[in-house]
Amino acid sequence: MQRALAVLMDPIEKIKIYKDSSFAMLLEAKRRGYTLHYLTQESLYIENSRACARAQILDVFDNVDRWFHLEEAKFIDLGDMSIILLRKDPPFDTQYLHDTHILDLAEAHGALVVNKPQSVRDANEKLFALHFPQCCPKSLVARDAKLLKEFVLEHGQAVAKSLDGMGGSAIFRVSDVDPNLNVIFETLTREGLELALVQQFLPEIKLGDKRILLIDGDPIPYALARIPQGDEFRGNLARGGIGVAQPLTERDRWIAAQVGPEVRRRGLYFVGIDVIGDYLTEVNVTSPTCIRELDRAFDINIAGTLFDALEKRLK
């Protein structure tokens, strides 16, 4: 019986295939003979306690001029899928939350959802790193702007973030002499309504914010160091950072070994951890990237390694 895969992702017509990790996964699934089904958020629904979707059969091509073809939409039971890739980008808002509840039902009826919906809900990408304090820089999470400001005054320089951003959005480098500290924390916390994170500034960011990929808890032996350019302190590729592929260091491997068993236990099959210098800063569980860049640099097939791990878990 032919296996079937569904992917919930952002609009496929807008992706850049040379750097899109979801697309790399779809190419690998096609190579393995899966029937591909394309889902959007509005296509999902629940009928009689079954997770369903108005899905389109998808074909993909590694061609920048024509990289996909979609057939007419049909109604499917998501529990009949072999694998469902949950690859919608953040923010993790109310609608994203509801999607994970729908996919809980698909999982309950037999589908392998990657990553496990409950664990995606539980593992906020900024806060989950704090489960590994031995790996993290000094940090504070609070709604109280006074506490956040005191942290900066104590440490001299810090990075301040919202908890639901991605791609370097809503991140500030602040110092104890910054005249805008009050307004920055008022903005990040929405006047005390939302949590914000401050972390000790790590000057090693000049050497790159390393993305390390974990497959079922085990690290790919290479990282993509995203190096800030010009006067920008953020290394995110979306903010102009330059990606430099490199082997993992001993410290990288140690951090991965701290995180790996817990993400494996939680059913977080594909995770991207971010490391600056000697410190873990984030654990990305929604839609980690950098597959295609590392594949090109080292002539490897990360999506193939991922599917090898997933297929061991298929019923």
Catalytic residue among 87, 116, 149, 161: 161
31 is written with which tokens?
């190579």
Catalytic residue among 149, 234, 266, 292: 234
The Cα–Cα gap between 249 and 258 comes to 14
CB 84 within 8 A of CB 103: yes
Catalytic residue among 115, 124, 236, 284: 284
Catalytic residue among 28, 282, 293, 295: 282
Catalytic residue among 149, 226, 266, 292: 226
Q: Is 192 helix (H, G, I), strand (E, B) or coil?
A: coil
Active site residue 250: no
Is-cis flag, bond preceding 91, omega within 30? yes
The Cα–Cα gap between 229 and 19 comes to 19
Active site residue 234: yes
Active site residue 226: yes
Active site residue 274: yes
Q: Is 102 helix (H, G, I), strand (E, B) or coil?
A: helix
Looking up tokens 């160091």 gives 225
The Cα–Cα gap between 191 and 193 comes to 6
Is-cis flag, bond preceding 115, omega within 30? yes
Nearest to 226 by CA among 212, 255, 174: 212
Cα torsion 64, 65, 67, 73 to 10°: value is: 150
Catalytic residue among 216, 274, 293, 295: 274
- CB hemisphere CA count around 75 (13 angstroms): 6
Catalytic residue among 149, 211, 266, 292: 211
Taking CB atoms within 8 Å and a gap of at least 24, the contacts of 222-227 are 222/246, 222/247, 222/248, 222/294, 222/297, 222/298, 222/300, 223/247, 223/248, 223/252, 223/275, 223/294, 224/290, 224/293, 224/294, 224/297
**17 alpha carbon, distance to own chain's centre:** 17
Q: What is the set of active-site residues? A: 126, 161, 211, 226, 234, 274, 282, 284
